[in-house]
Structure 1
Amino acid sequence: MGSTVAIVGGGYGGAALARQLDPDFDVVLIDPRDAFVHTVAALRGLVDAEWAERIYFGYDGLFTRGRHLRDHAVAVDAGGVTTADGTGVAADYVVLATGSSYPYPAKPDTENSADSQTRHADTRAELASASRVLLLGAGPVGLELAGEITEQWPQTEVVVVDPADDVLGGRYLPGLRDALREQLTARGVRLELGSALTEPPSVPPGVREPFSVTTEAGVRIEADLWFRCYGVVPVSDMLHGELAAARRPDGHVEVDEFLRVAGASNVFAVGDVTAVPEPKRSKAASEHAAVVAANIRSLAAGRPAEHTYRPGEDAVLVPLGSTGGASQVPGPEGPIVLGAAETARYKGDDLLLGRFADLFSASADKG
């Protein structure tokens, strides 16, 4: 078809879209990282050295004709993208797939995969010698990290603090929360819920050094290592011109039912950065990519955008190590809760690695 598609961001949605459009379009994937990061498995990579090497996939495997431009996008408008070094990428279609930022270790905080592996190794060494770990946040990340730590180092005391009254915020079934609480308690994880800390720890996160904190309820907690497990921030500050109005105060980008960015007929958005009212998951980003790929093909063929996206149902998979966890998934008559065995089958053992190895034409056994 010959048209140029600039995709800003090489995460789950951007990578899937690049692969789908590459045979027929001139795809330019703009991302500052040297490799795709399978963040679904990042916490397993934190505690397991072998996994730390398996979660990175080079972008070259996506393309037969497209290319990866390794740089930051600093300006995006309907005509294309400008990168930090001043390179301009003119494009017929632009897709914002920038995702969101999140505190380390749920997402790597470096753009080079070798540096990320070194960072994981350093943190792993700190964890291995820690006796008490504090996790701030009882959402999916905090609970999953508690599960990974207690599986790898069962003797380590883990305390999870959250101002919410129960684990796992969001519109989930009580049975899901019950299952997770029961398994965490069986692992020795201490849950301090319903009260925030009076002030943050006095030492940096991920650095082993004894400290004490106090909750607003007066509970004193002593630990020698901590991590922040909350704080999703959509990455959308590069929108310029008429696209800037689509950016909400919270950073999410308004899109229509075709996943077009509000105010532009040739600009789309996929994944976490969108304001689509649904859980932000890798599966949703991949589904967004399929819709956008179909709509770009329609536009390139001279037809209007024809494919719409329906927001997904509330669903979540929360592994607790390789054998534990609980999930909520859609059922024939409404959402259902899956226990540890089913969750491990869906996500726990493999953490979906094989699916993304296939996407990048790589081996799931690498490393």
Structure 2
Amino acid sequence: MSRPRVVIVGAGFAGYQTARTLSRMARGAAEIVLVNPTDYFLYVPLLPEVAAGVLEPRRVTVSLPDTLPGVRVVLGEVNAVDLDDRRVRYADPEGSPGELSYDRLVLAAGSVNKLLPIPGVVEHAHGFRGLPEALFLRDHITQQIELADAADDPAERSARCTFVVVGAGYTGTEVASHGVLYTDALAGRHPRLDGQRPRWLLLDIAQRVLPELDPRMSETADRVLRERGVDVRMGTSVKEARQDAVVLTDGQSVPTRSLIWCVGVRPDPIVADLGLATVKGRLLVDEFLTVPGHPDVFACGDAAAVPDATRPGDFTPMTAQHAVRHGKLVARNIAASYGQGMRRPYRHRELGFAVDLGGKDAAANPFSVNLSGPPAKAVTRGYHLASMPGNRIRVAVDWLLDAVLPRQGVQLGVLPAHAVPLDNDAPEMVRNPRLSV
């Protein structure tokens, strides 16, 4: 008799952990197939360090074939799921269609950029969800400083040295805090920019940075940003984006060539296409992470609205901490469905958060103990190394080299702007970079 097949859609934090745990528990008992657009798991929380030249791009990618023994990796974008016929349809990287039947299905498709109906944003803003966007942003920032150095017009020079980040959540705060250090270093290598310090603006309609985290962490991040010269404007956002400027909601026009969009994420559009019950775009599941009415279908990570047992009536937030544990529980419950162990409901209390602010600064509250400065930095980096399923030594070496050597401020020129559109419904299969400790 043929083995039952488990198909996992997406290799973000949730999907990767599902495949990893299931391969250890049910290897040989079931065929495990992981469908993902790339052959790597992306450790999203370190993307700001890629964009700022601290880490080389491959450091944050972990090979799926190398770290998931016994798992069949299929490269492709899932575009349809037939729940009645138990089939998943996808397109491979060359556009050829493919199809997989399943006995158990895990939907861990992750999330995409959250868009708002603001004129010009889709055309002129740069997103920050995946490795291509981080690479593009690193090149773009480097290029803008170099073009500013070459410009004779003071107004053009100022505009090219101005960087606007929209969204003061986890991602936007880290991008701004790392970015200002990177541009300061770049500008220092160009004598014509002497006295022309790059300008960074961080905008959000919220009343404080990191609005979803502990206020003391917000205070630490706000202080560090302002000390570095970042223009932090809460209660303010973008009203219109243009090629050479952004108009703010307070009416001010800011000349710039760099609008970085970090306002949040939304579940992958494939969830809405299923025709099943959703909560704010996330697929509704029960406490066992199964889809009501479809006991053979599981959902986890950003794609799933998972009941939060610690807050009755609410759902677990879209964080890496929950996604990892979602994936592990789904694997155990799938194994239980084949007679190995007992299925369990999801229950997990958050253990704290960590935000890397670049340099020697960070903010963290592991187990509700608030830390800042070097102690928080040590906790943050230690947790990253412990959480990464690979490349730990390479990441640590890059951190060491960054501490003693100047960064390499060069353009790679591998990605044009049209290759990283902001409005891209194709799932990146990655997790929200709001890493939890």
The higher-RCO structure (CA 8 Å, 6+ apart) is 2
Say whether the 8 Å CA contact 2:321–2:350 is kept in structure 1: no
The equivalent position to 1:91 in structure 2, one of 102, 111, 117, is 102
What is the deviation of 1:48? 0.9
2: CA distance between counterparts of 1:219 and 1:197? 10
What is the deviation of 1:42? 0.9
1: CA distance between counterparts of 2:13 and 2:217? 26
Deviation readout 1:176-206 (Å, 9 max, x if unpaired): 2222111111111111221333312x12xxx
What is the deviation of 1:314? 8.2
Identity of aligned residues (%): 25
Say whether the 8 Å CA contact 1:41–1:351 is kept in structure 2: no
The equivalent position to 2:384 in structure 1, one of 328, 341, 352, is 352
SS in 2 for 1:106: coil
Q: Tell me, which stretches of 5 or more residues in structure 2 are unaligned?
A: 115-125, 147-159, 185-196, 307-314, 399-437
* Number of matched pairs: 341
The equivalent position to 2:88 in structure 1, one of 62, 81, 86, is 81
Deviation readout 1:308-352 (Å, 9 max, x if unpaired): 112543843221114212134443xxxx432233331232x4671
The equivalent position to 2:328 in structure 1, one of 279, 286, 290, is 290
Tell me the amino acid that sits aligned with residue 264 of structure 1. Answer: H
Structure 1 residues 167, 314: closer, same or farther in 2, change over 3 A?
farther
1:319 is aligned to 2:324: no
The equivalent position to 2:268 in structure 1, one of 226, 231, 235, is 235
Give me the TM-score of the superposition, normalised by structure 2.
0.71
Say whether the 8 Å CA contact 1:74–1:82 is kept in structure 2: yes
What is the deviation of 1:167? 1.6
Taking only aligned residues, the RMSD between alpha carbons, in angstroms, comes to: 2.7
Partner of 1:191: 232
SS in 2 for 1:95: strand
Deviation readout 1:31-58 (Å, 9 max, x if unpaired): 1123222111111101116432311222
1:66 is aligned to 2:67: no
The equivalent position to 2:301 in structure 1, one of 263, 268, 271, is 271
SS in 1 for 2:174: helix
1:126 is aligned to 2:137: no
Which structure 2 residues correspond to residues 133-152 of structure 1 after superposition, within 5 A? 133-152=163-182
Structure 1 residues 177, 121: closer, same or farther in 2, change over 3 A?
closer
After alignment, is 148-157 or 227-236 more displaced? 148-157
Q: Tell me, which stretches of 5 or more residues in structure 1 are unaligned?
A: 111-115, 204-210
Partner of 1:208: none
Partner of 1:168: 210
Which structure 2 residues correspond to residues 173-184 of structure 1 after superposition, within 5 A? 173-184=214-225
Structure 1 residues 197, 82: closer, same or farther in 2, change over 3 A?
closer
Partner of 1:206: none
Say whether the 8 Å CA contact 1:237–1:251 is kept in structure 2: no
Deviation readout 1:242-264 (Å, 9 max, x if unpaired): x522334x321111111112221
Larger Rg: 2
2: CA distance between counterparts of 1:363 and 1:16? 17
Give me the TM-score of the superposition, normalised by structure 1.
0.83
Partner of 1:213: 246
The equivalent position to 1:54 in structure 2, one of 47, 52, 59, is 59
Partner of 1:299: 337
